């Protein structure tokens, strides 16, 4: 059983105005010292209106869900004590007149100096899924095989349609904002681990990016852990949707390893088609067509069914098939988190939307 871990980023919003609240240090300190969260489980982020949580290494999806619910509760309680709320949304629906202060670490201050406007507008929150792999060569084989599924994962997770108080027309505006950094989007195809290392070192040597941490591909090898890290999803409104995505990513990794061992060639899709599919998924979510793993347009329902067929053996082997497939069918029935945000905005305006993303209004 491959282990899995999840990181989630949350926005901190003022409890009255809904504007970003620069209280990250206070919230992190309070949550990290509480009875239900360890200090290293709650971490700072680029801007002071954000915090990040990280689960322990998990063997089962039940563990993932338990940790996420516990950590969400810990951070929400700490935020309430500090006069703000946590918001599980991929992008801040409102921004204030002044930029949110940067967390004062040397790395973050350097980023602010090099890309001020991008940092000021980095009020976006994602979800990262780590899946253990035996070594770098296997990890690269996994990246080469799962890259064609990244637009589908991104469409399923879309949770950031509102920016500056209005609907952007995109299901995942976070994806568009993040795409402005120099190294972003789907990773290219690599000729093995040595090629991956050469290309990362060349990027750093170019001085366009400061370090390997600024390689913001939607899937990459982690420099801290022996894992493949999938970074394309927006943070999720519901913890169980985050669990669903963790189960799908783990099954995609397991399927990729099995296919590599069996000598099945990876699907060859031109990088421009993957990029175009990614933009299309950010624009429409599941409302319309998706570009499938071969670069062809199909209905979103057909592509999700194809994804489930692709990973069913891995889901059955891990005991996750019933849970994941049920959540995928709920997603197809109810829509993405972006669809829920739009319904809340139409029904209750910005106050209704803020209530939804902060967990005050759990249902549409």
The confidence band for 364, taking pLDDT boundaries of 50, 70 and 90, is very low
* DSSP string for 205-267: HTTSSSSGGG-EESEEE-SSSSEEEE--SBPPSSHHHHHHHHHHHHHHHHHHHHHHHTTPPPP
Predicted confidence at residue 1, as pLDDT, reads 76
pLDDT in tens, 124-180: 999 999 999 999 999 999 999 999 999 999 999 999 999 999 999 999 999 999 999
The answer as to whether 235 is a domain residue is yes
pLDDT in tens, 281-301: 999 999 999 999 999 999 999
The distance in angstroms from the start CA to the end CA of the chain is 37
Q: Which residue has the higher pLDDT, 5 or 37?
A: 5
Mean pLDDT, the chain, whole residue set: 95
Is residue 32 over pLDDT 90?
no
The answer as to whether 276 is a domain residue is yes
The total of structural domains in the chain comes to 1
The answer as to whether 85 is a domain residue is yes
Question: What's the rounded mean pLDDT across residues 107-123?
Answer: 94
The answer as to whether 30 is a domain residue is yes
> Which residue in the block uniquely carries the two structure tokens 């019933």?
322
pLDDT in tens, 186-213: 999 999 999 999 999 999 999 999 899 9
For 335, left (φ over 0), alpha (ψ -120 to 50), or beta?
left
Q: What CATH number has the domain bearing residue 311?
A: 3.30.590.20
The answer as to whether 363 is a domain residue is no
pLDDT in tens, 229-260: 999 999 999 999 999 999 999 999 999 999 99
> Which residue in the block uniquely carries the two structure tokens 């810990």?
74
Q: Cα(364)–Cα(348) distance, rounded to whole angstroms? A: 10
CA 245, 246, 249, 251 dihedral sign is negative
The answer as to whether 22 is a domain residue is yes
Domain extent, residue 144, equals 4-357
Is residue 37 over pLDDT 70?
no
The answer as to whether 344 is a domain residue is yes
The answer as to whether 129 is a domain residue is yes
pTM of the model: 0.96
């Amino acid at each position: 059983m491959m282990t899995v871990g999840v990181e989630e980023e949350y926005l901190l919003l003022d409890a009255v105005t809904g504007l970003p609240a620069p209280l990250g240090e206070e919230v992190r300190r309070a949550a990290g010292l509480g009875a239900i969260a360890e200090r290293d489980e709650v971490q700072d982020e680029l801007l002071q209106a954000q915090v990040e949580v990280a689960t322990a290494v998990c063997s089962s999806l039940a563990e993932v869900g338990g940790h996420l619910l516990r950590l969400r509760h810990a951070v929400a309680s700490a935020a309430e004590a500090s006069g703000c709320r946590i918001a599980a949304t991929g992008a801040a629906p409102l921004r204030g007149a002044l930029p949110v202060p940067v967390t004062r670490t040397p790395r973050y201050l350097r980023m602010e100096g090099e890309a001020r406007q991008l940092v000021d507008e980095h009020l976006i929150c994602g979800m990262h899924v780590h899946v253990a792999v035996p070594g770098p060569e296997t990890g690269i084989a996994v990246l080469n095989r799962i890259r064609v599924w990244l637009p589908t994962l991104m469409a399923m997770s879309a949770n950031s349609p509102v920016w500056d108080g209005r609907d952007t027309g995109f299901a995942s505006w976070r994806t568009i904002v993040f795409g402005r950094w120099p190294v972003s989007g789907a990773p290219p195809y690599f000729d093995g681990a040595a090629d991956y290392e050469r290309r990362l070192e060349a990027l750093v040597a170019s001085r366009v990016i400061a370090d390997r941490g600024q390689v913001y591909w939607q899937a990459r090898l982690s420099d801290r852990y022996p894992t493949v890290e999938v970074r394309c999803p927006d943070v999720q409104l519901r913890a169980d949707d985050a669990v669903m995505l963790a189960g799908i990513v783990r099954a995609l990794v397991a399927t990729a390893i099995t296919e590599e061992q069996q000598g099945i060639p990876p699907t060859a899709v031109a990088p421009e088609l993957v990029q175009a599919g990614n933009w299309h998924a950010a624009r429409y979510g599941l409302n319309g067509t998706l570009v499938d793993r071969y670069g062809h347009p199909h209905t979103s329902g057909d592509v999700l069914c194809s994804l489930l067929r692709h990973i069913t053996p891995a889901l059955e082997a891990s005991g996750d098939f019933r849970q994941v497939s049920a959540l995928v069918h709920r997603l197809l029935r109810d829509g993405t988190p972006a669809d829920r945000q739009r319904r809340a905005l139409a029904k209750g305006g910005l106050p209704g939307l803020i209530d939804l993303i902060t967990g005050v209004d759990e249902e549409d």
